[in-house]
Structure 1
Amino acid sequence: MKREFAVIGLGRFGGSICRELSEEGMDVLAIDTDEDKVNEFKDIASHAVIADATDENALKELGIRNIDHVIVAIGDNIHASILATLILKELGTKTLTVKAQNDYHEKVLNKIGADHVVHPERDMGRRIAHNIISNNILDYIELSDDHSVVEVKAGSKMRGKSLIDLDIRAQYGCNVVAIKRNRDIIVSPRATENIKESDVLIVIGADIDISRFEKHLVVEED
């Protein structure tokens, strides 16, 4: 059955989520106080309405409690973001994802019951930092405050060696959960699997361990 989403706040972040969900065929209710932004999404989202998310009655009238997943992507107004989150929790929102502006905002959102808190500027900064460390680091995804997944291209120190030879788990405390090889994905690769030049390794572990792994095996020397 098709899931229903609501996106509150149609700035760059919320607007991007709204577009992607709509392109995936989801039912999306787009909400903003700015009429121009709402008009921009009226032909993209299933429904686009002008409403104040800090007005409990307005949210009730929109039937927000029947929505499967609500994303609060309010821009710079932290007070409005927190108040909207509180109201949505009291209304019994099933799943609530909220954008945080800073670490303090994130702590408050976690305290008042947001199911997922995203910090796009910080998280993107971390991903970019890891990507620019080396051309071999393709992506970096934070799983929690201290665990992540990194996607790396096999460097010269890894090519031609097996996972046993590299001993990544014992040496660095990380696990290679999959290998992308051209169009194939090898899930839970065998320890005897040899790393090839075009391979991309998907590695999971604690940030401190991933950092050691990157410095010793991934980053190429000039």
Structure 2
Amino acid sequence: MQKVGVIGLGRFGMALAESLAQEGIEVIALDSRPEIINQIKDKVALAVSGDGTDLETLRSLGLGKVDTVIVAIGEDFEACQLAMLAARDLEYPKVIARANDRVKEKILRRLGADEVIMPEEQAALKLSQRLSRPTLLEAVEIGKDHSFVQVKSPRGIHGKTLLELNLRKRLGLNLVAIKRPGTMAGEEAVVIPGPDTTVHEGDVLMLVARDKDIDRFLREFE
């Protein structure tokens, strides 16, 4: 079973720890506030009140043996940096940190973070995408410039086969599957696409591609 440590249980860290635990991941949660630990202790494998910046505290809790540690401290950037230094000393396989802006992102990367997430910026980008691209239903970042997206089939491709559209060659899009309304209300079928598959109105396309290619696709066919 994958084992993840979450240091810092503000709103972001708390939601993340609970979500990971619900996915079957063994979560060790650490925060300096006992009242916060009481809120989450029954939802994760282990929740302890302690100093997330102290090397010995992290080691004694078993945080020296996790697959990934997430430094989710948001407001106190000094504490976030100290936790990153402790994480670097423990040589975790992967360290993910949270930042509120680009300057802090650069600092955390220099301190050894393998990945830095900025929840506020990512939430703003998702909202912007949803409002500017109404056919875009969901987007999940899977790399620096790539995403997995679900989009309503745009009008410009209705009635055309995938062979005619040639999405991979023309636009660099990888169509993984198509979700299609079933014959009964509320039903949904998943179609594994082939060259002769025709795109219908109401289809939801599940795509993996570079972000700029997804934007180009939506602009061209919406």
Normalising by structure 2, what TM-score? 0.86
Separation (CA, whole Å) in 1 of partners of 2:70 and 2:162: 41
Separation (CA, whole Å) in 2 of partners of 1:113 and 1:156: 46
Alignment pair present for 1:46 and 2:50: no
Separation (CA, whole Å) in 1 of partners of 2:86 and 2:198: 54
**Residue of structure 1 equivalent to 2:119:** 120
Would the aligned equivalents of 2:74 and 2:99 in 1 still touch at CA under 8 Å? no
Question: Equivalent residues in 2 for 1:33-182 (5 A)?
Answer: 33-182=32-181
**Residue of structure 1 equivalent to 2:201:** 197
Separation (CA, whole Å) in 2 of partners of 1:149 and 1:26: 22
Secondary structure of the equivalent of 1:157? helix
Q: Specify the code of the residue in structure 2 equivalent to 1:67.
A: V
Cα RMSD, aligned residues only: 2.0
Separation (CA, whole Å) in 2 of partners of 1:84 and 1:184: 47
- Equivalent pairs counted in the alignment come to 216
Separation (CA, whole Å) in 2 of partners of 1:180 and 1:162: 15
Separation (CA, whole Å) in 2 of partners of 1:174 and 1:11: 38
Separation (CA, whole Å) in 2 of partners of 1:61 and 1:123: 34
Separation (CA, whole Å) in 2 of partners of 1:175 and 1:45: 37
Q: Specify the code of the residue in structure 2 equivalent to 1:12.
A: R
Separation (CA, whole Å) in 2 of partners of 1:58 and 1:201: 47
- What is the identity percentage for the equivalent residue pairs of Structure 1 and Structure 2? 36
Separation (CA, whole Å) in 2 of partners of 1:29 and 1:178: 36
Alignment pair present for 1:185 and 2:190: yes
> Given the alignment, which residue of 212, 219, 222 partners 1:215?
219
Would the aligned equivalents of 2:31 and 2:48 in 1 still touch at CA under 8 Å? yes
Would the aligned equivalents of 1:22 and 1:44 in 2 still touch at CA under 8 Å? yes
Deviation at 1:217, TM superposition (A): 1.3
Structure 2 stretches lacking a partner, 5+ long: 182-187
Secondary structure of the equivalent of 2:51? coil
Secondary structure of the equivalent of 1:151? strand
Q: 1:69 to 1:146 in 2, by over 3 A?
A: closer
Separation (CA, whole Å) in 2 of partners of 1:177 and 1:109: 35
Would the aligned equivalents of 1:78 and 1:101 in 2 still touch at CA under 8 Å? no
Deviation at 1:170, TM superposition (A): 4.0
Normalising by structure 1, what TM-score? 0.86
Q: Specify the code of the residue in structure 1 equivalent to 2:210.
A: A
Secondary structure of the equivalent of 1:52? coil
Question: For each residue in 1:158-217, what CA deviation from the matched residue of structure 2 results, as whole angstroms up to 9, or x when unmatched?
Answer: 221112333333443333233223444344x22321002231112233322222211121
Secondary structure of the equivalent of 1:88? helix
Structure 1 stretches lacking a partner, 5+ long: none
